[in-house]
């Protein structure tokens, strides 16, 4: 009888584990880090419409980095309204990474897509996520999604002046037939940790289109 009870307990434990959703086991902390949105920041080198960031590889003869605004959420896994908040539950953001890839499978860095980059986030602190309906906190994080240096080396430097059809005249964006444009997906990973030192990360993706777009006023 005792062995039967042990078997039943083991089966119940397995059943409970099988029913646990993935989001509850994605890390060992009590929190979930989430990228809610990625949008273009107002910079000289880039612009954005909808879910796309357009990166101009040459603007009035100069190169500028392109920045993005990443909305980052921290949510509690246990969102019981009876839970209190505590400073020992603070979450800190450490760094970010940007990896570029193309949907056609041509993903050699420095040849087909820019090199991946990483940058610090200054140990940005999130206060404790509140309980119940206040179970998440959000901050906008500014990151550099395309660095100046990337526009000075292949493959982006190869796009310079490709859209020029006549001296002193540029075509409108996307009118050049098939060349002079590189369309990538930028995968952004945000890394953080709890005050106890346990790691958290979140991933998000946005389309980044590179070309020598028409300069303002051209």
Residue 14's pLDDT is: 55
Q: What's the CATH number where 73 sits?
A: 2.60.40
- Residue 140 structural domain: 28-211
Q: What is the mean pLDDT of the chain?
A: 80
Helix (H, G, I), strand (E, B) or coil at 11: helix
Helix (H, G, I), strand (E, B) or coil at 15: helix
Decide if 39 is inside a domain: yes
List CB contacts of 86: < 8 A, sequence separation 6 or more: 128
User: Is residue 137 predicted with pLDDT exceeding 90?
Assistant: no
User: Is residue 22 predicted with pLDDT exceeding 90?
Assistant: no
Query: Residue 33's beta-bridge partner residues?
Result: 74
Least confident interval from 13-22, 71-80, 139-148? 13-22
Residue 161's pLDDT is: 79
Decide if 194 is inside a domain: yes
Q: What percent of the chain has pLDDT over 70?
A: 70
Into how many domains does the chain fold? 1
Decide if 150 is inside a domain: yes
Decide if 179 is inside a domain: yes
Decide if 191 is inside a domain: yes
User: Is residue 165 predicted with pLDDT exceeding 50?
Assistant: no
29 versus 189: which is more confidently predicted?
Answer: 189
Q: 109-131 pLDDT, tens per residue? A: 999 999 999 999 988 888 766 65
Decide if 3 is inside a domain: no
Decide if 47 is inside a domain: yes
Decide if 189 is inside a domain: yes
The total number of residues written for the chain in this structure: 218
Query: Quick one: how far is CA 167 from the chain centroid?
Result: 39
How far apart, in Å, are the Cα atoms of 112 and each of 6, 142, 163, 182?
58, 26, 19, 8
Instruction: Give every strand in the sheet of 117-126, ordered side by side.
Output: 46-49, 52-56, 199-211, 181-194, 91-101, 117-126
């Amino acid at each position: 009888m005792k062995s039967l009870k042990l078997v039943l307990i083991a089966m119940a434990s397995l059943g409970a584990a099988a029913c646990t959703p993935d989001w509850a086991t994605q890390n060992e902390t009590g929190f979930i880090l989430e990228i809610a949105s990625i949008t273009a920041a107002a910079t000289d080198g880039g612009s954005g419409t909808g879910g796309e960031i357009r990166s101009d590889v040459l603007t009035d003869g100069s190169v500028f980095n392109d920045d993005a605004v990443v909305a980052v959420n921290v949510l509690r896994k246990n969102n019981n309204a009876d839970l209190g908040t505590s400073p020992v539950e603070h979450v800190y953001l450490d760094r970010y990474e940007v990896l570029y890839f193309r949907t056609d499978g041509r993903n050699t860095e420095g040849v087909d897509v820019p090199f991946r980059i990483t940058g610090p986030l200054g140990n940005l602190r999130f206060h404790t996520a509140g309980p119940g309906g206040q179970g998440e906190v959000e901050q906008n994080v500014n990151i550099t999604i395309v660095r100046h240096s990337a526009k000075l080396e292949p493959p982006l430097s190869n796009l310079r002046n490709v859209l020029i059809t006549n001296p002193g005249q540029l075509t409108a964006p996307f009118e050049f037939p098939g060349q002079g444009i590189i369309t990538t997906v930028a995968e952004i990973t945000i890394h953080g940790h709890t005050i106890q030192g346990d790691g958290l990360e979140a991933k998000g993706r946005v389309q980044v289109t590179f070309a020598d777009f028409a300069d303002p006023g051209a």
